Amino acid sequence: MGSSFISHSETPPPDGRYGWICVGCSFVVHFFALGIESSWGVYQNHFFTSQDVGAVSNSNLAWVGSIQATGQPLVGFVAGILAQRIGFRVTGFIGTCVMCLALITASFSTQVWHLYLTQGLMFGIGSGFAFIPAVCIPSQWSLVQSDCVGLATGIAASGYGIGGLVLSPVTQQLIDHVGFRWALRITGLMTLVALGIADVFLRPRSSVVPPRKFNRSLLMNKVFLTLCSIGLFSGPGFYVPIFYVPDYVVNRLERDAQDGANAAALISGFSALGRVFLGVVGDHFGHLHVLSLCQFLGGVGQLAIWPFTRSLAGLMVFTSFYGFFTGGYVSLYPVVAADLYGVEGLASITGVMFASFVPGTLIGPPVSGAILDRYTDPITKKINFLPVQLFGGSWLLASAVMAVTVQVFQRSARGSPRVLP
CB under 8 Å to 116, separation ≥6 — which residues?
63, 64, 67
39-to-1, 31, 203, 367 alpha-carbon distances in Å: 36, 11, 28, 19
HSE, side-chain direction, 13 A CA sphere, residue 306 = 33
pTM beyond 0.75, yes or no: no
**In the CATH scheme, what architecture does the domain 17-412 have?**
Up-down Bundle (1.20)
**Integer Cα distance of 136 and 353 in angstroms:** 13
**Integer Cα distance of 203 and 134 in angstroms:** 9
DSSP element (H, E) containing 219 = none
**What value does the mean pLDDT take over residues 52-57?**
78
Greatest mean pLDDT among 141-145, 173-177, 216-220 lies in: 173-177
* Core vs surface per residue 27-47: b (16+ CB within 10 A) or e: bbbbbbbbbbbbbbbbbbbbb
**Integer Cα distance of 172 and 217 in angstroms:** 47
Mean pLDDT rounded to a whole number for the chain: 80
Binned at pLDDT 50, 70 and 90, residue 71 comes out as: confident
Lowest mean pLDDT among 100-114, 155-169, 329-343: 329-343
Q: What is the pLDDT of residue 160?
A: 77
Residue scoring higher pLDDT (376 or 2): 376
Query: Residues of the chain with pLDDT > 90: what percent?
Result: 19
Binned at pLDDT 50, 70 and 90, residue 10 comes out as: very low
247-to-255, 265, 298 alpha-carbon distances in Å: 10, 13, 20
**What value does the mean pLDDT take over residues 137-151?**
59
User: What residues does each domain of the chain span?
Assistant: 17-412
Nearest residue to 267 via CA among 183, 166, 195, 180: 166
Q: What is the pLDDT of residue 224?
A: 85
Nearest residue to 25 via CA among 194, 185, 145: 194
Q: Is the pLDDT of residue 138 over 80?
A: no
**Integer Cα distance of 22 and 62 in angstroms:** 34
Three-state secondary-structure class, residue 376: strand
Count the Cβ atoms, other than its own, within 10 Å of residue 129: 28
Q: What is the pLDDT of residue 299?
A: 93
Q: Is the pLDDT of residue 321 over 90?
A: yes
**Which amino acid is present at 118?**
T
Binned at pLDDT 50, 70 and 90, residue 206 comes out as: low
Q: What is the pLDDT of residue 335?
A: 77
DSSP element (H, E) containing 410 = helix 386-412
**Integer Cα distance of 8 and 137 in angstroms:** 19
Greatest mean pLDDT among 67-76, 157-166, 236-245 lies in: 236-245
Three-state secondary-structure class, residue 75: coil
CB under 8 Å to 24, separation ≥6 — which residues?
none
Binned at pLDDT 50, 70 and 90, residue 401 comes out as: very high
Binned at pLDDT 50, 70 and 90, residue 347 comes out as: low
Nearest residue to 23 via CA among 140, 181, 186, 120: 140
Q: What is the pLDDT of residue 298?
A: 93
**What value does the mean pLDDT take over residues 279-306?**
88
Q: Is the pLDDT of residue 3 over 60?
A: no
Q: Is the pLDDT of residue 343 over 70?
A: no
Nearest residue to 326 via CA among 297, 351, 288, 303: 297
Q: What is the pLDDT of residue 1?
A: 34
Three-state secondary-structure class, residue 12: coil
DSSP string, 288-314: HHHHHHHHHHHHHIIIIIGGG--SHHH
Residue scoring higher pLDDT (125 or 57): 125
**Which amino acid is present at 287?**
H
Residue pLDDT, tens place only, 361-388: 778 878 888 898 888 888 887 889 999 9
**What value does the mean pLDDT take over residues 348-363?**
77
Residues in the chain, overall count: 421
Residue pLDDT, tens place only, 153-185: 767 777 877 887 788 888 888 998 998 899 999
**Integer Cα distance of 31 and 99 in angstroms:** 13
Residue scoring higher pLDDT (334 or 313): 313
Q: Is the pLDDT of residue 207 over 60?
A: no
Greatest mean pLDDT among 165-174, 208-217, 271-280, 324-333 lies in: 165-174
Which parts of 207-254 fold into alpha helices (H)? 222-238, 240-247
